[in-house]
Amino acid sequence: MTRTFLFIFAFFCFTEATAQFIIEGKVTDAETGDPIPFASVLVKGTTQGMNTDFEGNYSLNVKSLSDSLVVSYIGYLTLAKPLEKQAEQTINFQLRPSDLQLEAFVFEAGENPAFDIIRKAVAKKEDFDKRSLMAYETNNYTKIEIDIDHVSEEFALRKSVQKVTSVLDSIKQLTNDEGEKILPVFFSETLSKFYYRNNPELRKEIVEKSRVTGVGITDGSTTSQITGSVFQEYNFYKNWLTILEKDFVSPIAEGWKAYYDYDLLDSVLVGQDSCYKLQVYPRREQDLAFAGTIWINKETYALKQVDLTIPKEVNLNFVERIKIQQELLPTSAGPLIPKKSRILIKIGQVTPKTAGMLAKFYTSSDSVRLEEAKPTSFFNQSVVLKEDFNTGTEEFWIQNRQDPLSSEELAVLQMVDTLKKIPIVRFFSEGLKFFATGYLKHGKVDVGPWPGFFNYNNVEGVRLGMGFRTNLDFSNKWLLKAYGAYGFKDDRFKYSASVTRILDRVHWSTVSISTQKEIDQVGLEISSLEGNSIFLAASRFGTLRRPYLTTNHKLNFQREIFKGFLFNASGTYAKFDPLYDFYFLDKDTRDYRSKFETLEARFSVRYGRDEIIIINDNERVSFGPAKWPIVQVDYARGFNALGGDLSYDKLKFYLYQRLNMGMLGVSRYELDAGKIFGEVPYPIFKNHLGNETLFYTTAAFNTMNFNEFASDQYVSLRYRHFFEGFLLNKIPLIKKLKWRGVANANVLFGSVRDANISNVPDMDPDGNPLETFGRLDPQKPYVELGYGIENIFKFFRVDFFHRMTYLDSPEAKPFAVKISAQIIL
């Protein structure tokens, strides 16, 4: 009996000693609901613990329990939760962000040990930068969620908002621990194949399946092109990363010591790799730099994973937080490919009575293949949609998405589908799109543009107009446009109409025919304002400068020959009928005429090596270049035949580039040059655009008067620099205001040949003085220099311009102050 009791007692003691307790759960951000990878999970008072994976999950098998489980991570408040004496239990944590102290650690003697690690990591950059691969392909999965957060009481009590929240019973499912409501408005998933090649550096994404749901989203084809992975690429092996059109310096950039301090926290095991864990600090709190943690392989000095945040002190508007988490995977050739990336952008409230916004981007890649480089022609279009890209069923997504959706994300999908059907939400979303694009969708046509509905000027008086264009629901091969307007003072009807046939959507090819009768202004032609309906409408208000009635007919063809290289050819017949006193000398008849007609053939080529292009319904849209310049060359020939009165040749050259100047900021320059061969009246010249208004514009010389100068041969350089807080960040009082310095330099050389000067008389046939044109001295450039402050109260900009030359004119303005309003981050 005693031996039996001792045996049973020993058995229970042995079982207790060897028992396994399983604790699992997930660690998320309490404000955003996003997973927190790499967080430390520890049984209090023991050495039993682990780090969460990239999805924030953990699973502990421990032999003994204490009273609580503790989770900690840099930048968050540590949180503990009680443990139960149970074999299996699930404990989830929601951590709240803390204010991260950015002061660097001080080392009493010797060099900071983290510096040697960073130095070796930078020296090995070329070994691990994916840009050193000749070509690779990946299968990508991307999901994007956009939410409204910071729903204040004042905002929630608005009648329009109450109509929404009363319908959304499921809103209670999407709150954090403190009950702060999150209102999702957009959710997308994309499966795609991503292709990369080097020399030249090109990218392409083929969207195989896409599911887009959101408030105001009426057609997924355009949205699906920008929700893939091609726009969610973050490579920390670059010196600078572009985020929200701002350039942030990488923690392993060349010259890292000028931007960052580091602290070696620990040596940890990440997967099978032993890594250094380093904390990163910006040296100056308002620099465009990161704070957070990076892990570097102890053996190879390659980046293993990063968890970086852009601090609140950075000189950005409205952005409360930007967080980037990334896990990298080595390829068989050595360079690293991001396996998983998560980006969070938190936009704060503009005013206390409004709401904020939260955007979440997640991309994962698998099936990395190192292939031979595909031909350049393969990359003609940056983003391509497969024909059946939006036909995936729910079962398809469950089987094919690389990562399952969480319960919160499933609730988001349900809520967005409900939200977009609410009448008041549809009304406001459609109204916002109407204001932004100028057009209101109505079935197969879009009505607009609204800036052309009403205008008022000295020539037309009250002007009323209306137009329409067809959309993708009408056809993906035909685009029809029409617009009509009537001026009650001049009693004239104006119109424009065009028909475009899309021949090829891959090698973008179109042919179009158009006709127009409209009032135009010398030096401010409608053709130069195409695509900017708001600015075009503004030019029709007030006093029109040298107005004329134009009637023209045009045939146009364009085709993208290869990636970035666009060819355009057109033929135009136009009539010039001045509405002001104008005459020119006809050299054939030796008579002075006020009207003329032109017949012109034009050819142009445009090349943007790394320009990103998407197809927006039936139009081609550029997202601009990343690094290389955009070059355009135009040649036009005017014929004195078949109705044309003038014989001439025009040659134009244009160059634009954005330059990253590191800590000094960002520069942009435009080089514009042209020459006219032949004898022509001055409306054919380059009439340099002046600006007599109070408002700043990059398209004009801001101290030049309207129609002050014209040239038949010219070259101009416009240089704009944005200091992005450089210098002003160092002034204690100014840096709190987050003002940013800007600078301008505009230089123009131009002249008019004697043969064209003699074309313009000073008097009309009745002896009355005529308006002519001002000429530049070929040896003396027009120069204006400017400086200013932007980001005043987050919206306003003030520029001060000094006119440096041509000050002897009675109408010259040696100094000008220009203001503008802009929404910038």
pLDDT in tens, 245-265: 788 899 999 889 888 999 998
CB 63 within 8 A of CB 107: no
DSSP per-residue letters across 79-105: EEEE--S-SEEE--EEEPB-PPP-PPP
> Is 715's pLDDT higher than 50?
yes
Enclosing H/E stretch for 821: strand 815-821
Local structure of residue 66 (DSSP, 8 states): -
- Give 775's Cβ-side CA count (13 Å radius): 15
Straight-line distance from the first to the last Cα atom of the chain, in angstroms, rounded to the nearest whole number = 82
pLDDT digits (tens, 9 = 90+) for 658-677: 888 777 888 999 999 999 99
Which range among 43-52, 622-631, 680-689, 728-737 has the greatest average pLDDT? 680-689
Q: Kindly state the tokens that stand for 102.
A: 């950015």
Give CA–CA dist 206/59, Å, rounded: 37
> Is 414's pLDDT higher than 60?
yes
Averaged over 142-163, what is the pLDDT? Answer: 68
Give CA–CA dist 206/218, Å, rounded: 22
Q: Kindly state the tokens that stand for 38.
A: 């790499």
Q: Kindly state the tokens that stand for 810.
A: 């009675």
> Is 514's pLDDT higher than 50?
yes
> Is 314's pLDDT higher than 50?
yes
Return the minimum-mean-pLDDT range out of 51-55, 529-533, 539-543, 776-780.
529-533
Residue 388: its pLDDT value, please? 78
Question: What is the architecture, at CATH level 2, of domain 14-95?
Answer: Sandwich (2.60)
Higher pLDDT, 448 or 635: 635
Tokens 């004496």 belong to which residue? Answer: 85
Higher pLDDT, 116 or 19: 116
> Is 183's pLDDT higher than 60?
yes
Residue 104: its pLDDT value, please? 44
Residue 171: its pLDDT value, please? 45
What are the start and end residues of each CATH 2.60.40.1120 domain in the chain?
Answer: 14-95
SS3 category, 155: helix
> Is 479's pLDDT higher than 90?
yes
CB 734 within 8 A of CB 725: no
Give CA–CA dist 608/626, Å, rounded: 10
pLDDT-based confidence at residue 380 (cuts at 50, 70, 90)? confident
Averaged over 305-315, what is the pLDDT? Answer: 83
Local structure of residue 779 (DSSP, 8 states): T
Residue 4: its pLDDT value, please? 47
* List of residues 6+ apart from 511 with CB closer than 8 A: 500, 501, 503, 555, 556, 557
Residue 172: its pLDDT value, please? 46
Reported pTM: 0.72
Q: Kindly state the tokens that stand for 240.
A: 């600078």
Question: What is the architecture, at CATH level 2, of domain 442-691+723-739+750-772?
Answer: Beta Barrel (2.40)
Averaged over 144-166, what is the pLDDT? Answer: 65
* List of residues 6+ apart from 48 with CB closer than 8 A: 42, 60, 62, 63, 64
* List of residues 6+ apart from 505 with CB closer than 8 A: 381, 476, 615
Higher pLDDT, 604 or 811: 604
Q: How far is CA 152 from CA 155, 179, 241, 319, 354, in A?
A: 5, 12, 34, 18, 7
Give CA–CA dist 760/676, Å, rounded: 16
CB 153 within 8 A of CB 165: no
Higher pLDDT, 639 or 36: 639
Residue 614: its pLDDT value, please? 73
pLDDT digits (tens, 9 = 90+) for 347-362: 776 666 666 778 888 8
Enclosing H/E stretch for 657: strand 648-660
Residue 428: its pLDDT value, please? 65
Higher pLDDT, 724 or 767: 724
pLDDT digits (tens, 9 = 90+) for 189-240: 888 899 988 877 888 888 888 888 877 665 555 665 566 566 677 889 999 8
Pairing type for strands 40-43 and 68-72 reads antiparallel
Give CA–CA dist 479/513, Å, rounded: 11
Give CA–CA dist 743/443, Å, rounded: 47
What are the start and end residues of each CATH 2.40.160 domain in the chain?
Answer: 442-691+723-739+750-772
Enclosing H/E stretch for 407: helix 407-419
Residue 633: its pLDDT value, please? 97
> Is 738's pLDDT higher than 90?
no
pLDDT-based confidence at residue 154 (cuts at 50, 70, 90)? low
Residue 180: its pLDDT value, please? 55
Per the omega criterion (within 30 degrees of 0), is the bond before 765 cis? Answer: no
pLDDT digits (tens, 9 = 90+) for 278-306: 999 888 777 788 998 999 999 999 999 99
> Is 823's pLDDT higher than 80?
no
Averaged over 805-819, what is the pLDDT? Answer: 89
CB 557 within 8 A of CB 570: yes
Length in residues, the chain: 825
User: Average pLDDT over the chain, rounded to whole?
Assistant: 82
Per the omega criterion (within 30 degrees of 0), is the bond before 113 cis? Answer: no
Q: How far is CA 222 from CA 192, 194, 205, 219, 227, in A?
A: 15, 18, 14, 7, 9
Q: How far is CA 576 from the centre of its chain?
A: 40
pLDDT-based confidence at residue 8 (cuts at 50, 70, 90)? very low
> Is 817's pLDDT higher than 60?
yes
Residue 65: its pLDDT value, please? 82
* Maximum Cα–Cα distance across the chain: 138
